[in-house]
Structure formats: C-alpha cells, structure tokens
Amino acid sequence: MLLALLMSLFSTAAWTQELLRPPPPEPERQRFAPVFQRGVAYTHLQDRGTNRRSPRRSRESLRYVKKRLGAEWVSFQPLAFQLGRRSPSIQLGRDDPPDDELRASIDLAHRLGLKVMLKPHIWLDEHRDERWRGTIEMADEDGWQAWFESYRRFILHYARLAAATEVELFCVGTELATTARQREADWRLTIARIRQAYGGPLVYAANWWGEYDQIAFWDALDYIGINAFFPLSDGANPSMETLRHRARQVAEDIALLHMRTGKPVIFTEVGFRSVSGATIRPWAWPPDRELGVDVREQARAYEAVFSTFWSQPWFYGMYWWQWFSDLGRGGLRNAEFTPHRKPAEQILVDWFARPIPVGISGSR
C-alpha cells in the first residue's frame, strides 16, 4: 500500500514537472544576407486568338531586360481569383499563367542569368467601388478561418513551385492590407508553413498607404516589401525639386520603419504612367482617359525615385511596374506604366548600370 502511494506521488510530481517545463525553443531559422535587386515586374501577355503565351516573345523580352536594361531580377505575378471581398474561397483552377508556362518562364529567366522573385496575387472578380484585395475582410471567425485555409492552399502551391524551380525570393502576399492589420497570428502561421515548403528568403508586398507601417509581423520575414505608389506631387508637370522633396519625405518615413524593425527594404512594385499628372495618383489604373500622354513627367519621376532611394543604407532595390512580354508595347504615344521606348527607359538603364552603393551586398 505504501509502495503504491509513493509511486502515485512520484508519477504526479513527474507529470506536474512536465507541465511546468518550458517548451523547447523553436529551431533557429536560417538568416539570409540581403542582396541589392535591380528588377522589373514582368507581365505575360497572351497571343491573340489563343490562351497561351508566346515562348518566343518571352525569350526576346527577357533577353532585352537582361542585355539592354541591365536588370538582374524579374518578378512574376501568377494570379488566383476571388469572387468578392467577403468570399472565403480562392479559386485555384483559374491559375494565370498555367504552371507549365510559369515554370518555363522561370527556367528561361534563369538561363539568361536573371534572378526571380515569385509574387502571387489575388484578383477580385468584384473589382469596383474601391473593392480590391486590400479590402478583403470576413464577417466572422469561421469566415476568417475558411479564408486563411483557402489562402494557404493557394500560396503553398506556389511556394512549392518556387522551391522546385529554385526561385531566389518568394513573396508571401501582396496588398492584403485588412488581413495583415487584423490577423497577425494567422499570418505568422502562414509564414511558418511557407518556410516549411520553401527554403529561401521571404518578403511581403505591402501597400504604400494604410499597411506597410502598420504590419506587426515584419520580424518573421527577411525583407520589408512596399508597393511604392506614393504621391510625389499635387499637380501635373511638377518640377524635379518638388518630386525629390516629396520622395525624401517618403524616405524619412520608411527609414523610421527600418529603425524599428532592422529589416532591409525593397520596392516590390514602383512605377508611374506616362501621362500628365502621373505623380498625383501613381497607383491609378487603367489610365484616366482625360489625361494626356506625358513621357517627360514619367522620366522625371523615375529620376526622383532613383536619386532619392538608391544610396539609402536600408534600401535594397526595386521592381519597376511594369514590363511586358510583348516588346511592341510602349513608345512615345503610349500612356501605360511601361517605360519601354520612352525617356524613362534610359533613366532606368543609366541607374541600373551604376555600382551598388558602398556597404550593400548584391551581384554586380
């Protein structure tokens, strides 16, 4: 009887000790040295009359990106679709581009000596009245759990593809502002799952307004990513002095975030249309019909961004939005974001030819 009592007490004490023992520390995750990224955001276009992309056009365009522009990185933006901002389901069957074409593009970029950031996007079918992916929000906890379950299926599909194709940088999300502000724990779990599938560095592409400086999970990532469509003027045809002044104000705000987090910053997107007033609302798309083409304002905006951010000690590069697979897009009468065959292209070429700022790592 006494022996049984002693054994019971010993068992209870051991069980209590096990409960009180602190959990084992999480394994130290790999740290990645940041590298400077001279990049463009690459957009595939379908051939007319088919639902496929042209390998020949992609080859010609990516070779131009490498040889003429001097870029070292490209981003690819595969899409999945969501019916509306309250819908908890992301549709994977409408992947755009198809996986085989995406793999072929990544392989082609690598064979040309380009590094790749894979940056999956969600596109809302209900894209009106200011409803866009940044406003995705569920009505209740069940909805949130269903949405994140669907999102993880989507993003892990591309994380595994990134691992299989040896992509150099993976973006865990793009401009999902409301989810990022409200659901920190869900995002941390999502990032942890992605790290299990993909062993390289991670970034999140935050919106320039109402998100990048409000995210609490930057510590779980390797880079701060910003889709940097900051307004640089209040009117059309601004002077270079005005553009640089506004750009410096933006840089000062981002520097505070870097000081708080210690993380390197990249512009996962940055760009301006070639229209009059492009620097007032740089994010606006499609081009406002009433705005006339102005390739010079676009070029001045490129120069202001390059000259302000290039040498910032916390800044590690940018991806210019956007570059098409069709080299026929662009030119002096074109009002789109592309700098192709416009003065902004030469600004880009000249800056990409410059050495990486002292103290910043990256390929030369």
Q: What is the pLDDT of residue 18?
A: 36
The answer as to whether 144 is a domain residue is yes
Structure-model confidence comparison of residues 363 and 195, the more confident one: 195
Cross-strand partners of 41: 75, 321
Q: What is the mean pLDDT of residues 259-281?
A: 97
Mean pLDDT to the nearest integer, 299-305:
98
Q: In this structure, are strands 315-324 and 37-43 parallel, antiparallel, or unpaired?
A: parallel
d(CA 223, CA 81): 26
According to DSSP, the β-strands at 73-76 and 79-82 are unpaired
Q: Could you tell me if residue 110 is inside a domain? A: yes
Total structural domains within the chain: 2
pLDDT at 335: 94
DSSP code per residue over 243-307? HHHHHHHHHHHHHHHHHHH---EEEEEE---SBTTTTTSTT--SPPTTSPB-HHHHHHHHHHHHH
Q: Is residue 76 part of a domain?
A: yes
Tell me how many degrees the CA angle 66-266-109 measures, rounded to the nearest 5. 25
Q: By percentage, how much of the chain surpasses pLDDT 70?
A: 84
DSSP state letter for 216: S
Return the structure tokens found at 44: 């595939």
Q: Does residue 211 share a domain with residue 263?
A: no
Instruction: Tell me: do 214 and 232 sit in the same domain.
Output: no
Amino acid letter for position 265:
V
Model confidence over 272-286: pLDDT tens digits? 999 999 999 999 865
Residue 311 belongs to a domain with what CATH number?
A: 3.20.20.80
Is residue 76 located within the same domain as residue 205?
Answer: yes
User: pLDDT tens, 109-129?
Assistant: 999 999 999 999 999 887 654
Question: What pLDDT sits at residue 291?
Answer: 74
**Are residue 349 and residue 321 in the same domain, yes or no?**
yes
Asked, for residue 88, whether it belongs to a domain, the answer is: yes
- CB count within 10 Å of CB 60 equals 14
Higher pLDDT, 21 or 215: 215
Task: Give the pLDDT confidence of 307-340 residue by residue, as tens digits.
Answer: 999 999 999 999 999 999 999 999 999 999 999 9
Count H helices, E strands: the chain?
Answer: 9, 11
What pLDDT does residue 284 have?
Answer: 83
* Domain assignment present for 58: no
Return d(Cα 70, Cα 36) in angstroms, integer. Answer: 13
* In a domain? residue 302: yes
Dist CA 328 CA 64 (whole Å): 12
| 221 burial level (CB within 10 Å; 0-12, 13-18, 19+) | buried
Residues 156 and 255 in one domain: no
* Segment 15-21 long-range contacts (CB within 8 Å, at least 24 positions apart): none
Query: Is the CB of residue 116 less than 8 Å from the CB of residue 76?
Result: yes
Beta carbons of 361 and 33 less than 8 angstroms apart = yes
Domain range holding 292?
Answer: 228-355
Q: Are residues 216 and 252 in the same domain?
A: no
Distance between CA atoms of residues 61 and 68, nearest Å: 10
Within 8 A by CB and 6+ apart from 346, the residues are: 299
| pLDDT score recorded for residue 89 | 93
Residue 180: its H or E element: helix 177-182
What pLDDT score does 96 carry? 77
Contacts for 336 with CB less than 8 Å, ≥ 6 apart? 273, 274, 287, 322, 329, 330
Could you tell me if 210 and 336 lie in one domain?
A: no
